[in-house]
Amino acid sequence: MQKLFKALSSEHRITLLQALLKEKEYVCICDLEDLIDRDRSVVYRHFKKLEEAGLIKTRRNGKRLECKLKHPEETEKILKMADKIQK
């Protein structure tokens, strides 16, 4: 559970999760880089944290690293609950 809360402690990772909520299929991580305006290596580290927390799953497609949410409905509930608590 500690990894989950650590993953949710970053605004950048929250932004990435919100973007993934809109996707049904795997998305190339490179397509999401512009959302947080960070270096590619930083973006990959954010996705690694999300994967370690069990929030996303990744796969290789050639040279591309793709991801999608493991449990979209639960992730949406977690983000909504965190937003309510924060207000």
Q: What is the mean pLDDT of residues 21-37?
A: 91
- pLDDT (average), residues 20-33: 93
Task: Quote the number of domains for the chain.
Answer: 1
Q: How far apart are CA 26 and CA 30, in angstroms?
A: 12
Instruction: Return the CATH number at 66.
Output: 1.10.10.10
* Confidence at residue 33, expressed as pLDDT on a 0 to 100 scale: 87
- pTM of the complete model: 0.91
Domain that holds residue 63: 2-86
Distance CA 86, CA 73 (A): 20
